[in-house]
Structure 1
Amino acid sequence: MQCNAHERAHALFLRVLTWAPDNAISHFNAALTYTFTGNVDAAEAQFDACLERMPTYWRAYGLRSRVRRQTADSNHIEALHALLAAHPDDVDAQIHVHGALGKEYEDLGDYANAFEHMRLGKTAARQQVAYQPEQDSAMVDALIKAFPTVSTGSGYGSDEPIFVVGMPRSGTTLVERILSSHPDVYSAGELMNFGVQLERLAPEGVQARLGPALIEQSHRLDWERLGLRYVDSTRPQTALKPRFIDKLPHNFLYLGLIAKALPKAKIICLRRHPLDTCLSNFREMFMENSSFHGYSFDLLDIGRFYIQFDRMMAHWNAVLPGRILEVNYETLVAEQEPTTRRLLAHCELEWNDACLSFQHNTAAVATASTAQVREPLHAKAVGRWEKYRPWLGPLEQLLHQAGIDTRPVLS
């Protein structure tokens, strides 16, 4: 699973279940890989089996609620409320059961209850997360200062990588599925390889993590070596096709470094309505110990992170003119074929009709969008924020103060 070989992982988890049929964690892992490979009914059955054996395996409740749309005739709301009442002092229960209730109430169209349970779950999680928004602001400041211009003549000349970046929950998985439906493109998943190789090549005496200290000394890096080591680190999977996709959304922070290390790599950045983007991050139950999603447990923290994302992309677009293709999620939904043609042209790929039928792509997908990307393109998620407008006032004000346009997208 850690290597994104989800089909192989799935077969192994099913073998484990033949030896340990009463092991709750094995049922949970099988549920995950059923989800990743698109078998929703089997995934729900395995989550149920996990919870029958271990009713306090809290994470399974939220994930079970997400594998399908809940209905008035088939939901878990009553049982979830009973669990909350039975475990009022268990923080993990509060995080995941409130999150599950938020999803199920939203499916039933009860947005007031949905938002309140999302808020309660996120508030419980925020107490366990040591997120400091000023650290992200300092990092963006350092990157802007260190890269007033970006020259791209000294890196590794591979044209294999395609980086798909953006805010999480902005459509990056959709674009990945479209591109990986092309016969010449392999989807490598959300790779942390570039950041890892950067840290391994940190100059002597510089802390090996992305932060102001390393950024300030980035001029000392061997860009060709960094690019080569990144590509080599993705082997052998990425050698099977001419091109491969690295879909780690947070690589938007690294784009100046990526451009120098891999001057022929293609870069695509997804943009989505700011309030839809922020709300979607708020709706999602990211892990509290995630190194990438510490901002996601408070609506205003999400807004602050979005502001830094917007600042960062404005800078990269200024210093890398023409290098980054920005794709608007709403435009992609409304104009599928023209936008798909733009994507393929930017990646220097020939047209292939399969890219319009990405929902038939059978490859596993391990993101929060795993269910949606197996459906034909639709506009159901466009403008979702308007259903939650009564509770988004402080977020909207924060974004306005930063000069970010939150007006509704015109249909």
Structure 2
Amino acid sequence: MSDSPLQQQLNLARQAAARRDWREASRLCIDVLRQDARQADAHLILGCAAGDAGAASTALRAFRTALTLAPERGDIRLQLARCLVQSGEHMAGECEADTCASLIGEDASQLDLLATIYSHLGKQEKAAPYAERAVAIAPDNATLLSNAAAILVFLGRTGEAEAYLRRALQLAPRHFRSHWQLAQLRRAEDELHYRNMLVLSAHYAENGNAQAYLHYAMGKVSEDLGLWQQAWRHYARGAEYRRRDIRYRSEEEQRLFAALRQGFTEEWFCRGAETPSTGEAPIFIVSLPRAGSTLVERIVGSHSQVQSLGELPHWPLVVKKQTAVGGPPLYSTEIAAAASTIDPVAAARDYCAAIRHRRDQRPFFTDKLPGNFLYLPMLARAFPGARFVHVARHPMDAGFAMYKQLFADAYPWSYDLEELGQYYVQYHQLMQQWARLLQQRMVTVNYDALVAAPETETRALLHGLGLPFEDACLQPHKTPNPAATASAIQVREPVHRRSSGRWQHFAAQLQPYRDVLENAGVLPLR
């Protein structure tokens, strides 16, 4: 028996959604709902379309409507959970995710999505069993193996992660993301993996995304083997491919920094002298990415009085919400310009409420979201008892470390050397202004000094934070805390100095970046 015209139209909408043609999918679903407003799938697809466009409130309404019509549908509840997490409503998102577990049964793709949601929540321990179950149900699915491996890496289970990735590549030798993950997992000892990827890159000649993954992976293997010129060629090619896919204008970034400098002045900061305390004592650890903040967080998080909460997105989400600036970006010139007009106390209240379900009984907790450096004066007023740690690294090492890293959807300025230099200058100037405002409330940790003299610098760090010294802080690689960052592999090793001065192997190639820094006075002219 053939489907009704309405079901045929809904099937077309599902097909359009599968190929991410959201305009066509939305058009079809709206027409379906005009005929029958109780079609849960039409609401579900409209929610996915709205979520893809960054219209979170519209997406949430659509998912909730779909769920009222079909409360037994685990797939709808999963989308609702994901949307809540993306909107910063982590407690509600986790509650929905917990409910999903009994509804999705043995559907491998839904189990994988549930694991992803928990991973985004920072709950890697909850994510892993669902990722492993998905792999057990669909052991020949390379994408599921790759996703599960990523979660196991965050938990420090690198041997199992490697086994998953090798199986993924046996099943799908062209699975470029697995090649990239495998290259990150351990130091290369020979060129076999490199040669395999080099052949594979020719197959993906027209696929820029695949080329980016493969070139970054080949750069990593080449660097491991000390083949410096070869490594740079691949990093540069990977960055070139990545930059082509990104819409980014450095002028807009400069306007954002200018808005922050103009809004958070000394006069603004001094208004908060009598700000009431929330009772919480967060330790905000800030830096540019790949500058050592994960290592510092694990040192501080090894202390018995400190709970490590990783990179919490809640502060910028609260700021965005309270400024009432629409659109998908979490950071923008409009948000930055309006940030100094909102009430820091109200923002602190919302932030504490959003993370309350994550807190335990320890008196202190860390939040190491790198982007929090933009809002340090506001955080200082919002939390009179907060501590601040700024992790600084030699500008050349910092620049190279960012340039050679393939990030997910963040840091679009890191794929072009001049744009990277311009961003570093803006960051440097902003941090100088914040240091004048915060004074003794901000502890600066020099990464190179830390890895050269771990005990001396760790003692100084803890003293600056008002914490008694504990021996556990000298062995951060032994802490069981998950590490869901690009440094997830490195922080499982004892503290080492291998990365200090590494940029010198690439001094000539990094000259465009250095020129920007020298011209701005960040580095002395040679």
Secondary structure of the structure 2 residue equivalent to 1:318: helix
2:489 maps to 371
The structure-2 alpha-carbon separation of the partners of 1:155 and 1:28, relative to structure 1 and needing over 3 Å to count, comes to farther
The structure-2 alpha-carbon separation of the partners of 1:265 and 1:102, relative to structure 1 and needing over 3 Å to count, comes to same
1:271 maps to 392
1:382 maps to 500
Alpha-carbon distance in structure 2 between the residues aligned to 1:207 and 1:41: 38
Contact 1:156 1:227 (8 Å CA) reproduced = no
Aligned ranges 1:12-51 → 2 under 5 Å: 12-51=130-169
How big is the shift at 1:32?
0.8
Please say if 1:123 is aligned against 2:244: no
Give the partner amino acid of 1:278. G
Alpha-carbon distance in structure 2 between the residues aligned to 1:209 and 1:86: 36
How big is the shift at 1:82?
0.6
Aligned identity (percent) is 32
Give the unaligned 5+ runs of structure 1. none
Aligned ranges 1:330-341 → 2 under 5 Å: 330-341=448-459
Contact 2:325 2:335 (8 Å CA) reproduced = no
Give the partner amino acid of 2:401. S
How big is the shift at 1:406?
6.3
The structure with the larger Rg is: 2
Secondary structure of the structure 1 residue equivalent to 2:120: coil
2:282 maps to 161
Secondary structure of the structure 1 residue equivalent to 2:445: strand
What does the per-residue CA deviation read over 1:118-148, in whole Å, with 9 as the maximum and x for residues that have no partner? 1011101100001111122111111111122
Alpha-carbon distance in structure 1 between the residues aligned to 2:515 and 2:258: 23
Moved more, 238-247 or 99-108: 238-247
Give the partner amino acid of 1:199. K
Contact 2:518 2:525 (8 Å CA) reproduced = no
Give the one of 250, 258, 275 matched to 1:141: 258
Give the partner amino acid of 1:327. V
Please say if 1:176 is aligned against 2:294: no
Contact 1:62 1:100 (8 Å CA) reproduced = yes
2:65 maps to none
Please say if 1:250 is aligned against 2:380: no
Give the partner amino acid of 1:61. H
Higher relative contact order (CA 8 A, sep 6+): 1
Q: Which has the higher helix share?
A: 2
Alpha-carbon distance in structure 1 between the residues aligned to 2:330 and 2:393: 29
Aligned ranges 1:344-355 → 2 under 5 Å: 344-355=462-473
TM-score, structure 2 normalization: 0.73
Aligned ranges 1:312-351 → 2 under 5 Å: 312-351=430-469
Alpha-carbon distance in structure 2 between the residues aligned to 1:126 and 1:188: 31
How big is the shift at 1:277?
0.2
Alpha-carbon distance in structure 2 between the residues aligned to 1:382 and 1:55: 35
How big is the shift at 1:220?
3.3
Alpha-carbon distance in structure 2 between the residues aligned to 1:75 and 1:251: 41
Give the one of 190, 194, 199 matched to 1:77: 194
Secondary structure of the structure 1 residue equivalent to 2:278: coil
The structure-2 alpha-carbon separation of the partners of 1:12 and 1:315, relative to structure 1 and needing over 3 Å to count, comes to same
How big is the shift at 1:346?
2.4
2:179 maps to 61
How big is the shift at 1:56?
4.1
1:3 maps to 121
The structure-2 alpha-carbon separation of the partners of 1:156 and 1:216, relative to structure 1 and needing over 3 Å to count, comes to farther
How big is the shift at 1:405?
2.0
Secondary structure of the structure 1 residue equivalent to 2:140: coil
TM-score, structure 1 normalization: 0.93
Alpha-carbon distance in structure 2 between the residues aligned to 1:281 and 1:204: 29
Alpha-carbon distance in structure 2 between the residues aligned to 1:374 and 1:269: 22
Give the partner amino acid of 1:87. Y
The structure-2 alpha-carbon separation of the partners of 1:381 and 1:209, relative to structure 1 and needing over 3 Å to count, comes to closer
Contact 2:218 2:231 (8 Å CA) reproduced = yes
The structure-2 alpha-carbon separation of the partners of 1:202 and 1:208, relative to structure 1 and needing over 3 Å to count, comes to farther
Secondary structure of the structure 2 residue equivalent to 1:259: helix
1:98 maps to 215
Alpha-carbon distance in structure 2 between the residues aligned to 1:306 and 1:18: 45
Alpha-carbon distance in structure 1 between the residues aligned to 2:327 and 2:237: 40
Give the one of 60, 64, 88 matched to 2:205: 88
1:228 maps to 349
Give the unaligned 5+ runs of structure 2. 1-118
Secondary structure of the structure 2 residue equivalent to 1:310: helix
How many residue pairs match? The answer is 404
How big is the shift at 1:60?
2.1
Alpha-carbon distance in structure 1 between the residues aligned to 2:340 and 2:248: 29
Secondary structure of the structure 2 residue equivalent to 1:367: coil
How big is the shift at 1:207?
10
